[in-house]
């Protein structure tokens, strides 16, 4: 009888030991849901917006002679790496120390001033011309990672590193412009000028690229299946432009009194359907030469190209949508 009791007690102890050991074996699969904000760590000069460089410029214009005097100029710098990011990850634990993750992220950058050029009539304190462009990036990427940790049960620090593969992305640019002019051959009342207002939206598509990312963080166990986590992540994702398309365009022309701003009459304007192919579409290249489809002049607000019925050519531009960010979220284990 004593032998039977000892056998039962031994078997019970063995099962309890195995159960305790099993509690330290991590569950194989998990899903993470995270959100965070990224900050720019390597700001650079923004790309040109058409013929306008990344500058904040203020000019004075003599209303009688048309002479222009520059009074202020500043280079515009920044990064499209600052903004909000959200993602969902699927992970697999090989053991308590090594795991792999695959993360799908959506990113929306903050809005950046890309160019601003303001000209003011001397003595009138009225704008002679103004152009201002703002841009932001939306992107979706896939980030495979290797995760290493000491495998602690309650508070488990980790490092994570891997690649960033952009799946989709756009640089969206919105431009508002105004110009006062006296077109040659157009009879105007005394003290009147033509005010042209243009509102334009365009999208720049990127070339395929690959970036790198790394993070340091921790998981904190709150229940059998749920952890919370927080991490600091660094990303470097260089992007170069492939093509550009104007998606919205609206132009109005009005004859106005320069002093009072009163509208005297309306003149024909243009919409996106009135743009030539070269005005609407751009293909970016690394070199411009005599065979490139570049502008040859202007007629009012219309830009004339060597071949109006073919996409224009412009030099490639480069931006970086990487940065240093803080992420936090929930990890669900299966």
Least-confidence region, from 41-50, 61-70, 87-96, 271-280: 41-50
Rounded to an integer, what distance in angstroms lies between the CA atom of residue 255 and that of residue 266?
6
Whole-angstrom CA distances from 282 to 10, 273, 276, 277, 278 are: 79, 16, 11, 9, 7
Number of Cβ atoms within 10 Å of the Cβ of 231: 20
Which pLDDT band holds residue 25 (cuts at 50, 70, 90)? low
How many separate helices (H) and strands (E) can be counted in the chain?
A: 2, 21
The residue to which tokens 């640019």 are assigned: 173
Output the pTM of the full model. 0.87
- Cα dihedral value 153, 154, 160, 164, nearest 10: 110
pLDDT of residue 16: 43
Residue 227 pLDDT level (bands cut at 50, 70, 90): very high
C-alpha dist (Å) from residue 2 to 5, 8, 9, 11: 5, 10, 10, 14
Residue labelled with tokens 């009791």? 5
At residue 43, does pLDDT exceed 90?
no
* 111-169 tens-digit pLDDT: 999 999 999 999 888 999 999 999 999 999 999 999 999 999 999 999 999 999 999 99
Q: What is the pLDDT of residue 26?
A: 66
User: What is the reported pLDDT for 79?
Assistant: 86
pLDDT band of residue 64 (cuts 50, 70, 90) is confident
Give the 3-state DSSP-derived string for 93-125, with helices as H, strands as E and coil as C: ECCCCEEEEEEEEEEEECCEEEEEEEEEECCCC
Q: How confident is the model at residue 23 (pLDDT cuts 50, 70, 90)?
A: very low
Span 262-300, pLDDT tens digits: 999 999 999 999 999 999 999 999 999 999 999 999 988
Q: Cα separation of 53 and 45, whole Å?
A: 10
- DSSP percent split of the chain into helix, strand, coil, nearest 5: 10, 65, 30
């Amino acid at each position: 009888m004593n032998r039977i009791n000892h056998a039962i007690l031994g078997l019970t102890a063995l099962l309890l030991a195995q159960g305790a050991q099993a509690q330290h074996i991590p569950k194989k699969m998990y899903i993470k849901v995270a959100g965070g904000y990224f900050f720019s760590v390597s700001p650079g000069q923004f790309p040109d917006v058409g013929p306008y460089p990344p500058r904040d410029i203020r000019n004075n214009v003599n209303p009688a002679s048309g002479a222009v005097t520059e009074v202020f100029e500043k280079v515009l710098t920044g990064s499209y790496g600052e903004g909000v990011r959200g993602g969902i990850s699927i992970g697999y634990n090989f053991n308590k120390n090594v795991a792999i993750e695959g993360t799908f992220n959506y990113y929306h950058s903050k809005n950046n001033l890309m160019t601003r050029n303001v000209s003011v009539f001397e003595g009138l304190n009225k704008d002679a011309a103004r152009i201002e462009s703002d841009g932001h990036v939306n992107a979706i990427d896939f980030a495979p990672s290797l995760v290493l940790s000491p495998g602690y049960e309650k508070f488990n620090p980790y490092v994570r590193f891997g690649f960033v593969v952009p799946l989709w992305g756009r640089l969206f640019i919105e431009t508002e412009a105004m110009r006062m002019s006296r077109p040659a051959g157009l009879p105007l009342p005394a003290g009147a000028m033509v005010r042209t207002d243009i509102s334009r939206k365009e999208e720049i598509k990127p070339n395929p690229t690959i970036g790198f990312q790394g993070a340091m963080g921790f998981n904190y166990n709150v229940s059998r299946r749920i952890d919370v986590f927080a991490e600091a992540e660094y990303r470097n994702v260089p992007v170069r432009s492939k093509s550009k398309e104007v998606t919205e365009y609206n132009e109005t022309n009005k004859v106005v009194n320069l002093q009072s701003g009163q509208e005297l009459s309306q003149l024909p304007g243009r919409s996106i359907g009135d743009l030539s192919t070269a005005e609407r579409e751009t293909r970016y290249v690394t070199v411009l030469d005599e065979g490139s489809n570049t502008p040859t002049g202007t007629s009012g607000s219309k830009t004339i190209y060597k071949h109006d019925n073919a996409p224009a050519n412009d030099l490639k531009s480069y931006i970086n949508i990487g940065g240093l960010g803080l992420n936090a979220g929930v990890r669900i284990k299966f």
